[in-house]
Structure 1
Amino acid sequence: MTQQGVRWTADQVLSLAPDDASRKAGSKLGAAGPWSGTGQDGGTVWGLCRGSGSRPYQTVVDLAGASGPAYRCSCPSRKFPCKHALGLLLLWASAADAVPPGEPPDWAAQWLSDRRERSAGKRPVDEAGSASGAADPEAARRRAERRAERITAGVTELEQRLADLLRGGLAGAERAGYGLWEETAARMVDAQASGLASRVRELGAVPSSGSGWPVRLLEEAALLHLLNRAWLRRELLPDDLAATVRSRVGLPASPSGPAIRDRWLVLAQYDTADSRLTTRRIWLYGADSHRTPLLLSYGAAGRAPELALPVGLTLEAEVSPYPGGGRQRAALGERFAAPEATEIRPPGISTTQAAVRYGTALRDDPWLDSVPVTLDRVVPARDGDAWQLADADEDTALPLTPAARSRPGLWRLVALSGGAPVKVFGECGHQGFTPLTAWPERGGPAVSLC
Structure 2
Amino acid sequence: MTQQGVRWTADQVLALAPDAASREAAGRLATAGPWSEVGSTDGGTVWGVCRGGGGGPYRTVVDVADASGPACTCGCPSLRYPCKHALGLLLLWTGGDGAVPEGEPPAWAERWVSGRREDAEAAAGTETAETGAAETEAAGAEAVETGAAGAEAAAGAAGDPSGSVSRTRDPVAARRRAERRAERITAGATELEQRLADLLRGGLAEAEQTGYAWWEETAARMVDAQAPGLASRVRELGSTASSGPDWPVRLLEECALLHLLDQGWLRRDRLAQDLAATVRTRVGLPATADGPAVRDQWLILAQYDSVDARLTTRRVWLYGTETGRTALLLSYGAAGRAPELTLPVGLSLDAELSTYPGGGRRRAALGKRFAPPAPVEIRPKGVTPSQALARYGRALRDDPWLESVPVTLEQVVPVPDGDSWQLADASGGTALPLTPAFGNRAGLWRLVALSGGVPVQVFGECGHRGFTPLTAWPAGPGQAVSLN
**1:202 aligned to 2:240?**
no
Which residue among 160, 175, 185 is the counterpart of 2:194? 160
* Cα shift readout 1:311-364 (whole Å, capped 9, x = no counterpart): 111110000111111111111110000011111110110000000000011111
CA spacing shift, 1:418–1:131, aligned 2, 3 Å: closer
Q: Deviation at 1:243?
A: 0.4
Q: Is the 8 A contact 1:273 1:301 kept in 2?
A: no
Structure-2 separation of matches of 1:309 and 1:281: 10
Q: Is the 8 A contact 1:274 1:301 kept in 2?
A: no
**TM-score normalised over the length of structure 2:** 0.65
Partner in structure 1 of residue 371 of structure 2: 337
CA spacing shift, 1:426–1:131, aligned 2, 3 Å: closer
* Cα shift readout 1:117-157 (whole Å, capped 9, x = no counterpart): xxxxxxxx745989524111112112111211121121112
Structure-2 separation of matches of 1:128 and 1:265: 24
Which residue among 250, 270, 275 is the counterpart of 2:304? 270
Q: Is the 8 A contact 1:316 1:337 kept in 2?
A: yes
Identity of aligned residues (%): 73
Structure-1 separation of matches of 2:153 and 2:388: 35
Partner in structure 2 of residue 142 of structure 1: 176
One-letter amino acid of the counterpart of residue 394, structure 1: G
CA spacing shift, 1:136–1:126, aligned 2, 3 Å: farther
Which residue among 431, 438, 447 is the counterpart of 2:465? 431
Structure-2 separation of matches of 1:313 and 1:422: 19
* Cα shift readout 1:55-106 (whole Å, capped 9, x = no counterpart): xxxxxxxxxxxxxxxxx999x9xxxxxxxxxxxxxxxxxxxxxxxxxxxxxx
Q: Is the 8 A contact 1:374 1:423 kept in 2?
A: yes
**Gaps (5+ residues) in structure 2?**
1-94, 100-150, 156-163
Partner in structure 2 of residue 298 of structure 1: 332
Runs of 4+ aligned structure 1 residues displaced above 3 Å come to 125-131
One-letter amino acid of the counterpart of residue 178, structure 1: Y
* Cα shift readout 1:31-50 (whole Å, capped 9, x = no counterpart): xxxxxxxxxxxxxxxxxxxx
Matches within 5 A, 1:402-417: 402-417=436-451
One-letter amino acid of the counterpart of residue 289, structure 1: T
**1:362 aligned to 2:402?**
no
Q: Deviation at 1:276?
A: 6.7
**1:220 aligned to 2:265?**
no
CA spacing shift, 1:214–1:302, aligned 2, 3 Å: farther
Structure-1 separation of matches of 2:96 and 2:479: 30
Matches within 5 A, 1:86-125: none
Q: Is the 8 A contact 2:152 2:287 kept in 1?
A: no
Q: Deviation at 1:300?
A: 2.6
Q: SS in structure 1 opposite 2:393? A: helix
Q: Is the 8 A contact 2:152 2:286 kept in 1?
A: no
**1:321 aligned to 2:321?**
no
One-letter amino acid of the counterpart of residue 363, structure 1: R
**TM-score normalised over the length of structure 1:** 0.70
CA spacing shift, 1:276–1:173, aligned 2, 3 Å: farther
Structure-2 separation of matches of 1:135 and 1:445: 49
Q: Is the 8 A contact 1:151 1:192 kept in 2?
A: yes
**Gaps (5+ residues) in structure 1?**
1-71, 77-124
Partner in structure 2 of residue 351 of structure 1: 385
Structure-1 separation of matches of 2:405 and 2:428: 21
Structure-1 separation of matches of 2:154 and 2:461: 33
**Cα RMSD (Å) of the superposition?**
2.1
